Amino acid sequence: MDETGGQAMRFVKMHGAGNDYVYVDCFAERQPDDPAALATRIADRHRGVGGDGLVLVLPSTRAAARMRMFNADGSESEMCGNGVRCVAHLVVAHGHAQAGAVPIETGRGVLTVDVRRLTPRLSQVRVNMGEPLLEAGQVPVLAGAGRVVDADCGAIVREPWWDEAGLDPRMTCVSMGNPHAIFFCRDVAAVPLERIGPTIERHPLFPRRVNAHFVELISRQRVRMRTWERGSGITQACGTGASAVCVAGVLSQRTDRCIVAELPGGELELEWSASGEVFMTGPAEEVFEGTWPG
């Protein structure tokens, strides 16, 4: 019990390439009554634990565990690539599954996650992210029928810095179970993400909002990217976004099917396999444990 008489909740702070969330092992802890409200409080970087959101690790009848993730604004998202790596690490570290191939239930379905323990607090994790959804209605984006590949994005925003940053006036849209809009540019550091991100996220073209990614080509095998995540804002990394960038690079003939994505929080390895599935490899690391008042 905490000092208020409520039942304190244990949590683990974890990150995947800097994309950090507060994780609650609901095999051992009671599931929060209102996880959306809890997410806004616990993710607050000044008054809470701090993070890009809240992830609940729940028992599942279909897999080793089920993941529910909530953004920092309390909205629930279908999928988080960096998050699912951390969930798989936690499931193994807490003894709910053995290292190796671990099935995790997500809003995208059951994903196979391969966990290789490096230290007690760190794993290298490879995720089968599944096949991308490419039709406009599947993303969703209100851009007619068919795929949105190198489509004109002048309807979204055109300001002087658009050309200064060398932004291509075209976008490619991909769903990895959640929606992504990808924009290629000459200098990703010159993109004023804090200004353009909210505009794109909530543009009427995207009925379920969207994650926006800006990508600088280093070579056909390497890109540098920055992300504005739906519901969380600027983040250090986005696993589903990096997967979508890999797909967008191939569709637009800019990159090979295997790339390394450089993100502010680290690097992720991506492969869009010939079978159609996207594979993502990267770290999952525990930062600290703590308790949250009941």
Same domain, 173 and 267: yes
For residue 170, what are its two tokens? 């075209």
Number of domains in the chain: 2
d(CA 13, CA 65): 18
Same domain, 83 and 186: no
Residue 6 pLDDT: 64
- Local mean pLDDT, 10-residue blocks, the chain (294 residues): 64 98 98 97 98 98 98 95 98 97 96 97 97 97 94 75 82 97 95 91 95 98 98 97 98 98 98 98 98 90
Residue 109 pLDDT: 95
Same domain, 81 and 155: no
On whether the CB atoms of residues 32 and 77 are closer than 8 A, the answer is: no
| Residues designated catalytic | 80, 238
Does 93 map to a domain?
yes
Same domain, 71 and 168: no
Residue 4 pLDDT: 38
Does 135 map to a domain?
no
Same domain, 16 and 36: yes
Relative to beta strand 266-272, strand 258-263 is antiparallel
Same domain, 247 and 186: yes
Same domain, 105 and 186: no
CB neighbour burial string for 120-150, b if at least 16 within 10 angstroms, e if fewer: ebebbbbbbbbebbbebeebbbebeeebbbb
CB neighbour burial string for 251-282, b if at least 16 within 10 angstroms, e if fewer: beebbebebbbbbbbbebbbbbeeeeebbbbb
33 CB neighbour count, 10 Å cutoff:
7
| 106 DSSP β-pair partners | 109
d(CA 179, CA 142): 12
Give the range of the structural domain holding residue 53, as residue numbers without chain letter.
9-129+282-292
Same domain, 155 and 271: yes
Same domain, 159 and 259: yes
Residue 33 makes CB contacts below 8 A (sequence gap 6+) with: none
CATH of the domain at 103: 3.10.310.10
Same domain, 224 and 261: yes
Same domain, 75 and 166: no
Percentages helix, strand, coil for the chain, rounded to the nearest 5?
A: 15, 40, 40
On whether the CB atoms of residues 45 and 39 are closer than 8 A, the answer is: no
